[in-house]
Each structure stands twice: as C-alpha cells, then as structure tokens.
C-alpha cells in the first residue's frame, strides 16, 4: 500500500492512478516516488536490468536513484526544468515521444520487462529531447500477457498523429478536451474513404474500432495466455507501429506556409535592433527560466538561450513551432522547449478535481518574459482589455521586455480589418499603456523602433 501521506512533502496532484507508485514533492523541493510492496518488487527487476542503466545514461529515462526511508522504497528523480503536456506539443514532438515509448518497450521486452501503460503524459521534454519520466510504469512481463498499453498508445499517441497528418485536424484541442485521448471510434470518423489506406489506419483504427465495438467484457487476457501469446508477438506489433509513426508526416497547406513567410518578424527591418536589445538585457545576468511569448520562429529564444537554463517558446502557430522544434532537435538542444498555446485561450487546470494538469503559470515562474510583437494580438486580435493584459504580465512577477505596436502599424490595421472601430478597445494607445505600466512596473530602458517601441520593465514588488 502507498501511504496516505508521503514521507515529508506533498503528493503531486497528477499522480494517483497507479496503485503501485506515487510521485511527491519533498520538503527540499526534490521529486520523489514512493512505491508499494508490489511496486518495490517490480523496481528491483527494473533496476537490475541492463536496459534501464543504458536508458538513464543516454538521457532517455529520467535519472533515478533509490533511497530507503523507514522500510519504504523511495526513488529520487532528477527534476525536469520545464513541464509541458501533450496538448501543448507540436506534431513532431508527439512523434518523437511516441517513438521513444515504442523503442523503450521493444528494448524492455528483450529483457523480459514491459510497460503498464503508454501515455504521452509519461514523457517530458528537456529542451528538445524527450525524456521518459514514469519509472513506476516499468515492470516484469508476465508469461502470455499482451501489451496492456496498446489501446492507450493509440488513443493518446497514434490517433493524434494520424488525424493531424491525414485529416488536417489539430490534435491539441481534442487532447485538451479529453485526457483519455481520442477513441478508435472517433478516429474512425475522421479517417474515411481512401484515408483508410494510410499507414496504420486500417489496422490500428478501422479494425481496432471494430474490435472494440464487438468484444466487450471477456477475460481475454487469460484466453490469450492459454493460447500461447508471446512477447515476440508484442514486439512484431511494436516494430510495425514504429514504422507507422515514422512514415506519418505532416505538411500543412501551401497557403498556411505562404502566410507565415509573409509575416513581418521574418522580413522586418527592425529585426536586428530588436535582437540587439534582447541580447543586451539577456546577457546582463543568467536567468533560470525565460518565457518567449509569441515566439514565432524562435529567433529571440535562440538569442536568450546562451544566458538561460531553460526557455519556453510559446506560440499559437503549430507549424512555425514544429519547424523550430525540428531544428532544435537536430541541434540536440537542451534549453528551448516549444509550447503550442493561444495566449488568449491558455491551457487551464484540468482533470480530476481540476488539478491533475496545471496551468502554465503554476508550473514554474519565469524570471524574464519576452512579449515581442504580441500585445496587438491580445488586445486588437482577441479583444482582451489592455488593463487585463498588463495586469497579467505584472502577475508573473518577472522582468519583461514588451514591444509596443501602435494602432496605425500595418499589422494592427490588418488584424482590425474586419472589425469596426467601436468593436476594438478604445484604450489601445501608447499613453494608456505607459500609465498602466507605470502603476505596476519600473521602466528601466526603452528603445524606439520605427513607430514601435521596446520597453524593458522590472516588477515593482
């Protein structure tokens, strides 16, 4: 049994489903895991395996060491600096996480181990590198047992990828809407006609949906075992799935791409002076965590990277972030993590009791926030009151570099093209902004930028 209270600290509100293992944050802020008797016995086999040591050395699985505490088995995990959820990942991040899960399972089976589940919530990103964090998910494989995580793998890894690639459907809103993921039946409804011939669609979606509909409540686990189900059969399936995931690629429509290429942050003339201002501020001191809001292609995240432990590049445009992610991955970057999110509709607290998955603000406070060419999207584009936006920025308690984009800026005019003047907040003015900022921040420095202006702000308190 897992104790009702952890030995010092508090349980992670998102860790409670597995009766054999539970994560807690200790009083010294370290991340620990307490194991039940059964969990401890599984862990013994895992710790002894050759694969587990290899995975930790390669950074594929979070660094873990065993501690003893009054007869309880406690594991100490290395803390992953930035926490993201699958509904905030880009296509390629999901794909990398899926391939990691499949490879680990394949290698585990070689040594007689398996995974209890197969959920992307067990993967976090250290910069661009996916890291498997749920050590409690690994246990010895039992003779005759199928892969219990196959259904979950489909619902939370495979169907999101297939829907994005073949049905032009972003998976993030679907995963945010259901923490259990996309059912086979739902995936089937997206993949009609010739799409059923895409890799994985026929077997993992069509047949899977049919199987789920027509075979309920049978003790099929025992039946399969008696009929001679082997781990080699799981491996055949897992290797097939690896090929399916590798072959599944996403290319958005031409129009989406040309829209991006026409954006001013790519071709804009002020790109260099803006970059120099950011570099100057960033290089003054080392930051633990930087948020780059409206990061676009990650130009400023990359500038800040050498002066920070971690950078979160937040943007609502999945395609731009996916390109950034693939570039970072090829550089083996361990600092910048892309995060797909519309700032006007951010990730809420979700799940059981509303705390299983946390909002971004509750996952670590930034010490520097870049809000470059983003304010007009919030106030003019999403109609958030300017006061609210400034209030929110101040609530982060961080130093901020804010770029003011005036109402007559061509980009703002474009954003407002389909709105009447009366439908836009009339306080979107530089004098109003400065007055609001003056009540909440100290203006440390500023730099005009051809009609726009860069403001360096330090929180008052």
Residues that bind another protein (CB under 8 A): 17-20, 38, 42, 116-117, 139, 142-152, 154, 203, 207-208, 210-218, 220-225, 227-230, 232-234, 236-237, 240
**Hey, what's the torsion of the CAs at 105, 106, 107, 108, to 10 degrees?**
40
Is the CA virtual torsion 165, 169, 171, 172 positive or negative?
Answer: positive
Contact indicator for 349, 358 with CB cutoff of 8 Å: yes
- Cβ count near 197 (within 10 Å): 10
Shortest CB 179 distance to another protein, Å: 12
DSSP state of 360: G
Shortest CB 115 distance to another protein, Å: 11
Q: Among 27, 22, 3, which Cα is nearest to 11's?
A: 22
Q: Counting beta carbons within 10 angstroms of the beta carbon of residue 215, is it exposed (0 to 12), middle (13 to 18) or buried (19 or more)?
A: exposed
Closest to another protein by CB, 218 vs 420, is 218
Closest to another protein by CB, 236 vs 251, is 236
Backbone angles phi, psi at 133, to 5 degrees: -110, -15
Strands 368-371 and 399-404, bridge-based pairing: parallel
Closest to another protein by CB, 245 vs 282, is 245
Shortest CB 137 distance to another protein, Å: 10
Closest to another protein by CB, 209 vs 405, is 209
Shortest CB 235 distance to another protein, Å: 9
Shortest CB 152 distance to another protein, Å: 6
Closest to another protein by CB, 221 vs 434, is 221
Backbone angles phi, psi at 38, to 5 degrees: -65, -40
Shortest CB 38 distance to another protein, Å: 6
SS3 167: helix
Closest to another protein by CB, 207 vs 435, is 207
């Amino acid at each position: 049994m897992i104790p009702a209270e952890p030995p010092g600290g508090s349980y992670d509100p998102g860790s409670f489903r597995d009766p054999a293992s539970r994560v807690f944050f200790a009083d010294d802020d370290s991340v620990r895991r307490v194991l039940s008797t059964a969990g401890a016995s599984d862990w013994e086999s895992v710790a002894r395996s050759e694969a587990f040591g290899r995975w930790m050395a390669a950074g594929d699985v979070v660094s873990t060491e065993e501690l003893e505490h009054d007869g309880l088995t406690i594991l100490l995990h290395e803390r992953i600096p930035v926490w993201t959820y699958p509904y905030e990942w880009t296509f390629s991040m999901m794909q990398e996480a899926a391939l990691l899960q499949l490879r680990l399972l394949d290698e585990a089976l070689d040594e007689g181990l398996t995974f209890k589940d197969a959920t992307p919530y067990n993967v976090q990103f250290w910069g661009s590198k996916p890291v498997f964090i749920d050590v409690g998910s690994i246990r010895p494989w039992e003779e005759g047992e199928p892969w219990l995580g196959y259904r979950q793998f489909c619902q939370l890894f495979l169907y999101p990828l297939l829907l994005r690639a073949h049905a032009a459907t972003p998976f993030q809103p679907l995963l945010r809407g259901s923490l259990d993921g996309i059912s086979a039946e739902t995936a089937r409804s997206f993949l009609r006609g010739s799409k059923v011939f895409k890799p994985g669609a026929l077997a993992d979606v069509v047949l899977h949906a049919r199987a789920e509909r027509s075979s309920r409540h049978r003790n099929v686990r025992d039946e399969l075992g008696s009929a001679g189900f082997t781990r080699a059969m799981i491996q055949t399936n897992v290797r097939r799935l690896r090929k399916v995931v590798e072959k599944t690629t996403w290319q958005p429509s031409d129009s989406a791409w040309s829209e991006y290429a026409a954006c001013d942050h790519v071709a804009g003339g002020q790109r260099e002076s803006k970059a120099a201002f950011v570099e100057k501020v960033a290089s003054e001191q080392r930051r633990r965590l930087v948020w780059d809001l409206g990061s676009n292609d990650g130009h400023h995240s990359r500038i800040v990277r050498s002066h920070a432990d971690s950078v979160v590049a937040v943007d609502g445009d999945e395609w731009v972030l996916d390109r950034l992610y693939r570039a970072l991955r090829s550089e083996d970057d361990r600092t910048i993590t892309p995060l797909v999110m519309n700032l006007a509709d951010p990730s809420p607290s979700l799940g059981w009791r509303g705390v299983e998955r946390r909002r971004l603000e509750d996952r670590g406070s930034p010490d520097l926030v870049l809000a470059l060419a983003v304010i007009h999207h919030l106030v003019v584009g999403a109609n958030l009151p300017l006061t609210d936006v400034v209030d929110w920025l101040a609530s982060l308690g961080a130093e901020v570099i804010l770029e003011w984009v005036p109402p007559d800026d061509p980009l703002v005019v474009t954003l407002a093209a389909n709105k009447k003047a009366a439908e836009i907040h009339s306080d979107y003015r530089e004098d109003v902004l400065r007055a609001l900022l003056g009540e909440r921040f100290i203006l440390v420095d500023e730099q005009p930028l051809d009609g726009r202006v860069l403001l360096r702000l330090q929180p008052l308190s």
